[in-house]
Structure 1
Amino acid sequence: MKTLVLILLTIISFQTIPAQNKYYSHKKKAVKKFESALRNYNLQYYALAKQELHEALKIDNNFLDVYILLAEISHEEGNKEEAIQNFEEALAINHNYHPLIYLRKADLELETGQYEKAKTDYNKFLSFIKESKKYLDYIRTKLDHCEFALTEIKNKVPFNPRNLGVNINSPISEYCPSLTADNKILTFTGSDRKKNSPEDLFYSTRVKSQWQMAKNIGVPINTDRSEGAQSVSADGKTMVFTACLRKDGYGSCDIYISQKVGSKWTKPQNIGQPINSQYKETQPSLSSDGKTIYFVSTRPGGKGKFDIWLSKLQGDGKWTVPINPGDSINTKEDELAPFIHYDNETLYFSSKGHAGMGGSDLFISRKRENGNWSSPKNLGYPINTYFNEESLIVTTDGTLGLFSSDMDGGFGQKDIYSFELYKEIQANKTIFVKGIVYHAITNSPLESKIEISGLSDTNIFSTKSDKINGSFLLCLPPGKNYALNIDKKGFLPYSDNIHLPDSNIFIKIPLQPIEKDKVFILKNIFFDIDKYDLKQESFAELNRLISFLQKNKTLKVEIQGHTDNTGTAAHNKSLSVNRAKSVYNHLINNNINKSRLKHKGYAATQPIANNNTEEGRAKNRRTAFKILSDE
């Protein structure tokens, strides 16, 4: 309901003009012009309405209602300053005419950064309604915003936004950016630059640190209807986005999902219930592991009109019933555009309800050890202003943000900007392992399951390599040791131990087909120095070996122990035999028939690297298994 209608319909209880007059003017011709303008306003014929209102003022320049309607038209046209001026003209005629004029004027002043004036007008409004509780919470919240903004302006945070330029931004709006973890592909929402069209999804690739001219992502993602508010997974292979008024929709707007195979997107599918409902679902954000989706919904059970919700992917491929993260995130106002960082612990979002500068502000919240979210922190001024700041995303290293804003100086209505985050609002640094899986003999790309697990914890990160090009990407916390394992039917399992100190890595992984005499090194089997007792970190690797043997029931294998050339030959022989036997016994104890197993210690007789270096000796100290037969 438009504010003007609210003002005019409730005016009787506060107006100081005679009760028999419907409007402030006594002149019939002026009233006739006003009523015609009001009809045209309701039909959104703003230019004609303004013409008639100015004609009414020529007849009666003290026609206060005219200025109220002019203010509303100015606001509808996006000219808030002109709207404020018209409200001031109305109050100059009669400053006690109606308190809602002060409220409307104060809201516009807050939205344009005139915080002291807004405080004055909010308090003036309160002076009229001292005994009314209807607006108290709203006004107190707005006064808090004013005080917060005035404090923030005195305590500026570092901020140097850079417009992404004409290859991304245009005279229309670009917003909702999403970025692959390797910073190579930027996807965003916009409209076709050459024609008046509904919202579509666009993408740009980065070449030598420069974004190329954005292109329409095309079918089957885009249609003749609107698609937008997308989120692309860390590896760039899954996209979730919003589409409205679809035949297969559950509500007015639903979330859809598409997979990228090679260079092509599959036909989008409605992600279904319980995520989608008869209400509005929009602005999804996928966690880097693909196991949690955050989104915005108007469904019941929330704190306000638009709330942020989340759902988790279960082992059976179904999503859990969405949960509301509660008061720590959501308010009575709108919370929008969630972005869960690649660390899966830092949430950025936009809010009109938490203390801010006016309009939509950007906030950060961090997940605590108990799973709850911390109280949101406003990113501060001048990152947040009285303009609308929305759709913040942050790169994997946690230091660079991209967001959309209608700030002055852009190419159009909303543009996409980048900026460096000051330390207090940075996310945890996350790195990625990127690679290609291929056939060791034919060099052809392979689709396979990939798991990377921490050696010191139970966290498992998994994905599949692309069946067209064999590529994969996984995001991980830095500074840890990980076990990398790949399993594909018809091939030997692949195992590696990787240390990720502080930088991203790229690896090529050849998979060996199961053939007689092929040897597979178990890189995540660990023993203490000069010991043969299996360490705890070894059991995940051994469990995968057990699974491999259970799936390939006819295989017979030899467990091999190898050492470097340090120490005596006799000692190394004994050590290698006992280590191989430890693995052998573990397999038997886990129901692998001993008729399928042999074990042998080779000491230092079969080196695979130079024993003159520590690195070489480390490679030579290994446990492996050899395919003896497949009967």
Structure 2
Amino acid sequence: MIKKFTFLLLSFWLATHTLYAQIGDGPARKKLDKAIQDMNLARYEQAAASFTELYKQYPTDTLVNYGLGYCYAQSSNPNEQVKGIPYFEFALPSRSEDIPTTLPRDLAQLYHKAYRFEEAINLYTKYKNILPKNSAELKTIYRQVEMCRSGVVLMKKPLEVVIQNMGSEINTKYTEYSPIINGEEDLLIYTTLRPINVIDPKSGESREAECILYARKESGSTTWTSPKRLEGCDYNVASVALTPDAQKIILFVGATNGGGDLYIGDIDDNKVVNLRAFESKINSAGLENSGSLSSDEQVLYFSSNRAGGFGGQDLYKIEKDKNGRWANPINLGAEVNTKYDEEAPFIHPDKKTLYFHSSGHNSMGNDDIFKTIMVNGKFTKPTNMGYPINSTYNDNFFVVSPDGKKGYFSSDRPGGFGGQDIYFLGIPEEQDVVPLTLVKGRVLAGDSLKPVPTKIKVIDKATKQLVKGVYHPDRKTGNYLIIFPPGKNYDMIVEAKGYVPHTININIPDQTYFHELYQQIHLKPVKQFDVVVGQQVTVQNAFKDVNPNGGSEKIKVTPRMANEAMLVRDSLDVYDLMDNVIAASDSTAFEYLLDLMFKVNPLDKVNFKDSAIAEPPVTATFFFDEKDKLVPMIVGNDTIYTAPVLYTDSADLHKNRPVMLEGKQPEAAVYKAVTRIYFDSDKADLKAEYYAALDKVIAQLKEYPSVAVEVDGYADSDGNKDYNLKLSNRRAKEVLKYMTGKGVLRRRVVAKGFGQLLREGKIKSDTDKQKDRKVEIKIVKAPQHNGK
């Protein structure tokens, strides 16, 4: 829902007045009558046209000046409104009964919009003094004066920020508001209010209705595609919030009685599906029109005008309990909420910085954008985001990118295309941006490495708590996106269809800058002689920060860059998001900064073979005969048995589970010994006479836990090579079967057929051929760790 700047309307005394100053009877009188009639019917454009013609003939007529000024003031275009100031100023000294006593208030409002706060305060005060002491309007005038005084203070410390209208591709002559973006900032969803092909029976004109549009950025592009309507959403539905991975969306659905509720749905191929209302603890009999989920989806902040609040729309917080059910909502209290409206909460992924807009607090003009920070479990007194982020018009629905470098909001300030427009706010990339880590990853599985249905659960190792319900990688691409705060250690449990769950440890450094981690996870079957006997997981990480000079090293803001960009410090306290803001002193610096801000690093563009940005892949193998080695992981009320934890940070590789335990080491002679098992011609049957020899090898494996065994199969030169290769495989497989049947783990055996042996000269006897019908067994050193 949006609110328009309320211009305090005059009572249309003009309809009954008969004194027209300089204008007597005749055509001019008829034109004036028509202008007044149009004003009474709120047809201000037609009335303004008539008054403009009259002004050319009667530029000193008080009534004509007042009428023209009033029509400008009532314009829906903020660029036109303040044009009424000189006409009101001309009419103000008049003592004519034709001019209403509300003129000082009306002109004060225009001064207010034009940032002429002291003049506005003077006129508001004069108007207040002529009002009866019991006038209901006094509260409104006092509030207008408060906002003007706030404007005086805020204008003394203007912020040097980059604010840009998002242009005609997104904004139109109608109203666009409530922008929401995904974590990768390549998807923008917003609401527009415009006429639809439905005729209002009362006015006979096309009805206006809200609908939701979306636009995308193609890979590597800085421009948005043409907006399209988000399917699955009816009219009178507005965008509210988006999860960082863009898989769930919160919507506002209006009701015919003026109320409305919050709904949540899934996004599937640019369509909202499975749309369902939040439960009654969140939706009440009143109005719930905005909300924001924390990055772990465990906390919802929302606005409501339910009974028991401080007045208007209040902000509430509701958390999930240990069973994943919503507890009871809690009003954020008098520190945050006022008797006016507080709406559109946006909780930053740091889970402690909350943004919202309010017509209360120290607003400088209707809706202003504020922020508050949670300290010791309570939110601090909200801080006005300052000028020019806020203006004397409506500035609302603020969201910020995960890296803290870009913000998006809507405003009906002058300079737009009409109604409310969506604006971009640029913030510098420097040491004080929010130090979160954005993980862009992909899970692929199988020999052909294709996406498979996957769930990812993240556990905070310090608290043992589930960070979020479940992350679902995109079913078409396998891509996932997760946001982490700094200085923490997490276990990611990856459950892919057809694969044993794998736990991957991820260590988030305690950095002071925004960090992007690119990750690919590959799951493959492990085969021995075309039989799947286990699974292998390979994880590789890459770090690719944007650098204005090219290359992959992390950005450091040099004094030169700071000079060019005029980086300044102000009251916004950017460590929590916006302490430092940015402005460009010239067009070159401006273009340089915009390129920096809009730069994207899609996963497809990351070269995991580039050692400058990518770490070596870390691999672990799990064999099905080691199910007793599965590790129980407590996830909420569930226990998931996963393969042993795989550590990916270079400093933690030594923690990866040893494949073979340390123990007694064999002498050199053990490695040199070769055990030979012979077979009959064209046969792969293991003879009982060799059981003792194999048992001796098995005993060595038990005696020396740190060794493995190689099983090499061979055949003689009779027959063709392909057949002999298969025969040698069968012989090696028989030996493998015997050893695993005696309890030898498959990971300790490397078995392979090599086909027929090549010998110099011609083999003349069966005795010589018999020597090649064999399997050779050797004790070898085993790899010491997974992950290497």
Give the TM-score normalised by structure 2: 0.58
**Bigger shift: residues 377-386 or 404-413:** 404-413
Please say if 1:203 is aligned against 2:214: yes
Q: Please list the CA deviations of residues 124-172 of structure 1 after superposition, one character each: whole Å capped at 9, or x if unmatched.
A: 2343359558556544443333233223323222212234344434444
Q: CA separation in 1, counterparts of 2:272 and 2:20?
A: 66
Provide Cα deviations, 1:233-257, integer angstroms capped at 9, x if missing partner.
Answer: 10010111223347xxx85433332
Q: Which amino acid aligns with 1:44?
A: A
User: Within the alignment, does 1:227 sit opposite 2:237 as a pair?
Assistant: yes
Q: Is the 8 A contact 1:202 1:214 kept in 2?
A: no
Code of the residue aligned with 2:160 in structure 1: it is P
Q: Distance in 2 between matches of 1:359 and 1:338?
A: 17
Shift of 1:542: 4.9
Which of 285, 288, 299 is equivalent to 1:281? 288
Instruction: Tell me the equivalent position of 2:113.
Output: 111
Whole-angstrom distance in 1 between the partners of 2:506 and 2:372: 31
Counterpart in the other structure of 1:45: 43
Quick one: distance in 2 between partners of 1:516 and 1:51?
A: 83
Counterparts of 1:398 and 1:83, CA distance in 2:
40
Give yes or no for the alignment of 1:402 onto 2:412: no
Write the letter of the residue equivalent to 2:246: G
1:178 matches 2:160: no
Q: Which amino acid aligns with 1:210?
A: T
* Partner SS, residue 332 of structure 1: coil
Asked whether 1:376 is paired with 2:386, we answer no
CA distance in 1, matches of 2:223, 2:51: 49
The match for 1:294 is 301
Quote how far apart the aligned CAs of 1:73 are. Answer: 3.6
The 1:36–1:303 alpha-carbon spacing in structure 2 relative to 1, beyond 3 Å, is: farther
Measured in 1, the distance between the counterparts of 2:50 and 2:194 equals: 36
- Contact 1:226 1:244 survives alignment (8 Å): yes
Q: How does 1:20-59 map to 2 (within 5 A)?
A: 25=19, 40-47=38-45, 49=47
Number of aligned positions between the proteins: 543
Matched, 1:122 2:134: no
User: Which residue is 1:528 aligned to?
Assistant: none
Deviations along 1:312-358, one digit per CA (max 9) or x if unpaired, are: 45566654554432322222333333222122211122222221332
- The alignment partner of 1:106 has SS state of helix
2:367 alignment partner in structure 1: 360
**What is the letter of the counterpart of residue 297 of structure 1?**
S
Partner amino acid, structure 2, of 1:102: P
CA deviations 1:602-629 (Å, max 9, x no partner) are 8644699xxxxxxxxxx94579xxxxxx
> Partners of 1:216 and 1:306 in 2: how far apart?
31
C-alpha separation in 1, matches of 2:400 and 2:303? 19
Distance in structure 2 (CA, Å) of the matches to 1:109 and 1:310: 38
Shift of 1:116: 1.4
- More deviation, 139-148/336-345: 139-148
Instruction: State the match for 1:304 in structure 2.
Output: 311
Deviation at residue 112 of structure 1 after TM alignment: 2.2
Report if the CA contact (8 A) 2:460-2:489 is conserved. yes
Counterpart in the other structure of 1:500: 508
| Cα distance in 2, alignment partners of residues 136 and 236 from structure 1 | 47
1:329 is aligned to 2:336:
yes
Does residue 395 of structure 2 align to residue 389 of structure 1? yes
Q: Distance in 2 between matches of 1:52 and 1:412?
A: 23
Residue 54 of structure 1 and its aligned partner are, at CA, apart by 8.5
Letter aligned with residue 77 of structure 1: S
Q: CA 1:165 to 1:26, structure 2 compared with 1: closer, same or farther past 3 Å?
A: closer
Q: Cα 1:44–1:140, aligned 2, differ >3 Å: closer, same or farther?
A: closer
**Structure exhibiting the larger radius of gyration computed from Cα positions:** 2
**Structure 2 counterpart of 1:236, one-letter code:** A
Q: Which moved more, 1:163-172 or 1:96-105?
A: 96-105
Q: Which secondary structure state, in structure 2, belongs to the residue aligned with residue 92 of structure 1?
A: coil
Q: Assess if the C-alpha contact under 8 Å between 2:58 and 2:64 holds in 1.
A: no
What is the 5 A alignment of 1:578-593?
Answer: none
Candidates 658, 661, 679, aligned match of 1:562? 658
| C-alpha contact 1:399 1:426 (8 A) present in aligned 2 | no
Determine if contact 1:461/1:474 at 8 Å carries over to the other structure. no
From 458, 478, 481, the counterpart of 1:473: 481
The residue that corresponds to 1:581 in the other structure is none
What are the equivalent positions in structure 2 for 1:456-471 lying under 5 Å apart? Answer: 456-462=462-468, 463-471=471-479
Q: 1:116 to 1:402 in 2, by over 3 A?
A: same
What is the percent sequence identity of the aligned residues?
26
CA, structure 1 residues 424+406, in 2 after alignment: closer, same or farther (shift >3 Å)?
farther
Correspondence for 2:491 among 460, 483, 494: 483
Change in Cα spacing, 1:50 to 1:412, as seen in structure 2 (3 Å) is: closer
2:175/2:194 contact within 8 Å kept: no
Structure 2: runs of 5+ lacking an equivalent: 1-5, 198-205, 540-629, 643-655, 667-701, 710-746, 748-782
Q: Which runs of 5+ in 1 are unaligned?
A: 10-20, 524-538, 551-559, 571-599, 609-618, 624-631
Question: Bigger shift: 357-366 or 420-429?
Answer: 420-429
For 2:153 and 2:281, the matched residues in 1 are separated by 43
State the alpha-carbon separation in 1 of the partners of residues 461 and 445 from structure 2: 27
Answering whether residue 225 of structure 2 is matched by residue 213 of structure 1, we say yes
Measure the CA separation in 1 of the matches of 2:388 and 2:56. 43
1:33-76 deviations in Å (ceiling 9; x for gaps): 98986665453333555578799999999997887665554332
Structure 1 pair 136/567, CA: closer, same or farther in 2 (3 Å)?
farther
- Note closer, same or farther for the CA distance 1:379–1:425 as it changes in structure 2 (3 Å cut): farther
Name 1:532's counterpart in structure 2: none
1:492-520 CA distances to partner (integer Å, 9 max, x unpaired)? 22111112235222333345789996479
Confirm or deny: 8 A CA contact 1:333 1:353 kept in the other structure. Answer: yes
Cα-to-partner distance string for 1:460-510 (whole Å, 9 max, x where unaligned): 323233445433222111232221113467642211111223522233334
Residues 1:236 and 2:237 are matched in the alignment: no
Taking structure 1 as reference, are residues 158 and 260 closer, same or farther at Cα in structure 2, changes over 3 Å only?
A: same
Distance 1:568 1:75 in 2: 92
Residues 46 and 330 of structure 1: is their aligned pair in 2 closer, same or farther, counting only changes over 3 Å? Answer: same
> Cα gap change, 1:546/1:226 in structure 2, threshold over 3 Å: closer, same or farther?
closer
User: In 2 relative to 1, CA 410–510 (structure 1 residues): closer, same or farther, beyond 3 Å?
Assistant: same
Q: Check conservation: 1:4, 1:72, Cα contact below 8 A.
A: no
**One-letter identity of the residue aligned with 2:153:** T
Verify the 8 A CA contact 1:173 1:190 in the aligned structure 2. Answer: yes
Q: Partners of 2:44 and 2:135 in 1: how far apart?
A: 35
Contact 1:179 1:187 in 2 (8 A): yes
Paired AA for residue 122 in structure 2: T
- In structure 2, the residue matched to 1:168 is 170
Contact 2:230 2:271 (C-alpha < 8 Å) held by counterparts: no
Q: Shift of residue 212 of structure 1? A: 3.0
Task: Report the alpha carbon displacement of residue 376 of structure 1 after superposing the two structures with TM.
Answer: 1.2
CA 1:567/1:2 → structure 2, altered by over 3 Å: closer, same or farther? same
Distance 1:317 1:567, change over 3 A: closer
Distance 1:67 1:83, change over 3 A: same
- Name the amino acid aligned to 2:422: I
